[in-house]
Structure 1
Amino acid sequence: MSTLLLLKNAQLYAPKFLGTKDVLLSAGKIIAISDQIKLDSNLDVTEYDCQQAILCPGFVDTLTHVTGGGGEGGFATRTPEMQLTDAILGGVTTVTGALGTDGVCRTHKELLAKIKALKEEGLSGYFYTGNYHYPIVTLTGSVEQDIMFIDECIGVGEVAIADHRGSQITWQELARLASQARVAGMCSNKAGIVSIHTGSNQQMLTPLFEAAAQSAIPLSAFYPTHINRNAKLLEQGIEFNKQGGTIDFTASTTPEILARGEVLCAQALKIALDAGADEDRITFSTDGHASLPVFNDQGELVSLKTGSMTSLHEQLVRAVKEFNVELSTALKTVSQNPARILKLENKGQIEIGRDADLLLLQPDCLSLNGVIAKGHWMMKDKKLLRRGMFETQR
């Protein structure tokens, strides 16, 4: 394996557009960026001509059900766990695992083991302790200890509000939980964020606004997802953003869910930007391998499909091509912004000293041509170079 990898003639989006650049990688890091890099060295150097392809940061997915999710329709509806190629084919180089509805059959031990496995296979991985329910179930016995002593644990979630599957948590309980996560994050230099699953109940984000209004906890301590679930929630999410919080749009969807009022992720971005939302506090996540259920008015399951990890890339393309969002702005939602909210200081931007997690996109259609994670090719010229331990050929 070469000591150095030199990417030549790339249109660099860092995610801000910086023009045509050469980028030099070594030991999993970005070590040089320049208009033209020439090496006179006896070290082993591999050069790759990007031929004016777009070079951008690898996607940071802040919500992936890496061990699978679901179960709302019985044991047979437990969704399968993700595989390495699911991430590669979607341009995801950093995953954040979470449990969801099921905190009985799905465990934190299993979740942490899967994150460690994905790291061994070449990705970067983190996870949230807890799941939909309150009181929070943890690995070590407390939220504080999970965050402080488990390297991969960066917060709590996804805690459910406004959803019949949740514990109907109060604003007081949310404030107390956010305080625990926040202090643990401060003491361990981690995000200490509380990821919030937002359901379709008319309560919407009210508990978060109440927690911020009635306590010393700021809105920024909470990170609500599924904000594009319906138009009314999106409107409230935009206000949450304007008051200092970060909102997350779910990229995975189905025709059935869209027909029941969900706003397409790419369109939600456009609506939020036009309404004056802060583009630095908007993210996309895949909700990969979660169940995507449709319930009737009685809370009975009608249909169920599975979230896809290719959805970030798909919605990025649609935001740019269909809704005329600037590429650099759209890229922020899947790179710089999620890295900031999760306090992953080496992720989300192409900059000297940061991790060499990079994607190559075809300039005209933005299709995914290449994936580099931790400085290693995972996909090159649209050909998969790495697969998980037990994956068959794809």
Structure 2
Amino acid sequence: MNSIILIKNAELFAPQSLGKMDVVIAGGSIAAIGKDFNLAGSNLPVTVIDGSDYYLTPGFVDSLVHFIGGGGEGGFATRTPEMQLTDATLGGVTTAIGVLGTDATTRTLTNLLAKAHALESEGITTYCHTGSYEIPCRTLTGSITDDLILIDKFIGVGEIAISDHRSSQPTIDEIRKVAAAARVGGILAGKSGVVSVHMGAGERILQPIYQAVSGTELTLKQFYPTHMNRNRRVFEAGLEFAKKGGVIDFTTSTTEYDLKHGEVAAAAALAEALQAGINPLQLTLSSDGNASLPIYNDNGELLGLQVGQVSTLYQSARDAILSHKVSISDAICAITQSPAAVLGLKQKGRLASGLDADLVLINRDDLAINQVFAKGKQLVANGNATVKGMFER
């Protein structure tokens, strides 16, 4: 019989602040949340964790990760490596969504799906988007709608690239058809059917989305634009998009070059958006983990390339708290409840009875991650991985 876990007297952020509480984990789920639980006389195997020195939050949801790597903008030697289990778990990520990017020729949906299953078997929860940067979309069944209906792990489409020199320069009608197919597939499969949008630095910014929605029954909430902190102009366009009802995502992986040349750091972007009155549930952070981070000059020539890190997701949330005075609740919301809501993941992103037991214990003194549980199993203890992926051992 698996042990029941009782976490005592932790300060809960669900992500809303609930104060000091006890949490019972059983069978991979949160069995109960309350005060002064005592299971000593229950004749059940119970592991008790003293949570007095910790904040307890939901496991983090990373809405954009390149499970099988990305890149190639500088040739075959610049293809980035695959993500490993501890890349996620040491950063508190217990749910991740895999995508393809620029390269959908040597990086394929079959490989992406296989890697998603591998990571799931190692301990975390994974989903994927069908498609990639280009339109018409690469799919497994030949249809976006069919992919969403027939393949459990596919929950949306993307990341579709717009306003970017690496995009396929889709027409407005093509964007509409992608969104419509995703909408129908999502409805029939009980999934979000969201369209993840890679936002480039082009002059049009979000205009293709506004034009796609105009005169149709589509809504802005169908689209989920990421990299909205790419530069000040894109960031301000993102604030307007959110004010019109949309959800925007800020990328946490970056380079010193990009920050020096106008990118708004994700922590600062989150703080400014909240100060502008944007609802926290319309703001998310994602890591773009294992993506290539190409550095281009104004002529589109590649100057260099780095690799995105899943660990930056929590690092940015922590920085928002410590350096930008964002509340713990709002910072954690951006990496838990908000992305889970956009992606339609009803068992994720919150602490409540009956939800998946994905939990992170954070040191109260320095906000470092101490313990991580995914589906009730401990994967990190005292800041060290207790479970590693197949090729990390």
Q: Which runs of 4+ in 1 moved over 4 A?
A: none
**Aligned residue in 2 for 1:306:** 307
Aligned pairs (5 A) from 1:26-37: 26-37=26-37
**Aligned residue in 2 for 1:2:** 2
Structure-2 separation of matches of 1:9 and 1:22:
5
Secondary structure in 2 aligned to 1:270?
helix
Aligned pairs (5 A) from 1:1-394: 2-39=2-39, 40-392=41-393
Amino acid at match of 1:98: V
Secondary structure in 1 aligned to 2:324?
coil
Alpha-carbon offset, residue 270 of structure 1: 1.2
When structure 1 is superposed on structure 2, of 315-324 and 272-281 the one drifting more is 272-281
When structure 1 is superposed on structure 2, of 253-262 and 341-350 the one drifting more is 253-262
Amino acid at match of 1:207: P
Alpha-carbon offset, residue 82 of structure 1: 0.2
Structure-2 separation of matches of 1:105 and 1:292:
18
Structure-2 separation of matches of 1:229 and 1:115:
28
Q: Deviations over 1:46-77 (max 9, x none)?
A: 11112230000010000000000000000000
Secondary structure in 2 aligned to 1:214?
coil
| Count of residue pairs the alignment pairs up | 392
Structure-1 separation of matches of 2:216 and 2:165:
26
Q: Deviations over 1:337-377 (max 9, x none)?
A: 00000000000000000000000101122111010001000
Q: Deviations over 1:238-258 (max 9, x none)?
A: 111111111000011110111
1:61·1:285 contact (CA, 8 Å) conserved in 2? yes
Structure-1 separation of matches of 2:345 and 2:314:
20
Q: Deviations over 1:205-235 (max 9, x none)?
A: 1101111223221000000000000111111
2:90·2:384 contact (CA, 8 Å) conserved in 1? no
Taking structure 1 as the reference length, what is the TM-score of the superposition?
Answer: 0.98
Amino acid at match of 2:22: D
Alpha-carbon offset, residue 13 of structure 1: 0.6
Identity %: 49
Amino acid at match of 2:52: Q
Structure-1 separation of matches of 2:203 and 2:345:
33
Structure-2 separation of matches of 1:67 and 1:119:
14
Amino acid at match of 2:14: A
Q: Deviations over 1:316-351 (max 9, x none)?
A: 111011110111011110000000000000000000
2:90·2:383 contact (CA, 8 Å) conserved in 1? no
2:2·2:27 contact (CA, 8 Å) conserved in 1? no
Secondary structure in 2 aligned to 1:328?
helix
Q: Deviations over 1:6-25 (max 9, x none)?
A: 11110111001101111000
Alpha-carbon offset, residue 296 of structure 1: 1.2
1:132·1:159 contact (CA, 8 Å) conserved in 2? yes
Alpha-carbon offset, residue 383 of structure 1: 2.3
Alpha-carbon offset, residue 259 of structure 1: 1.2
Structure-2 separation of matches of 1:23 and 1:304:
44
Structure-1 separation of matches of 2:283 and 2:208:
20
Amino acid at match of 1:309: V
Amino acid at match of 2:141: T
Taking structure 2 as the reference length, what is the TM-score of the superposition?
Answer: 0.98
1:118·1:125 contact (CA, 8 Å) conserved in 2? yes
2:7·2:22 contact (CA, 8 Å) conserved in 1? yes
1:2·1:45 contact (CA, 8 Å) conserved in 2? no
Structure-2 separation of matches of 1:232 and 1:47:
50
1:360·1:371 contact (CA, 8 Å) conserved in 2? yes
Structure-1 separation of matches of 2:126 and 2:230:
26
Secondary structure in 1 aligned to 2:23?
strand
Structure-2 separation of matches of 1:119 and 1:77:
27
1:2·1:46 contact (CA, 8 Å) conserved in 2? no
When structure 1 is superposed on structure 2, of 169-178 and 241-250 the one drifting more is 169-178
Secondary structure in 2 aligned to 1:249?
strand
When structure 1 is superposed on structure 2, of 171-180 and 183-192 the one drifting more is 171-180
Alpha-carbon offset, residue 26 of structure 1: 0.6
Show structure 1 runs of 5+ residues with no match: none
Secondary structure in 2 aligned to 1:223?
strand
2:8·2:51 contact (CA, 8 Å) conserved in 1? yes
Structure-2 separation of matches of 1:171 and 1:149:
27
RMSD, aligned α-carbons: 0.9
Q: Deviations over 1:146-192 (max 9, x none)?
A: 10010000000000000111101122211111011011101110010
Secondary structure in 2 aligned to 1:322?
helix
1:251·1:284 contact (CA, 8 Å) conserved in 2? yes
Structure-2 separation of matches of 1:170 and 1:277:
30
Amino acid at match of 2:18: L
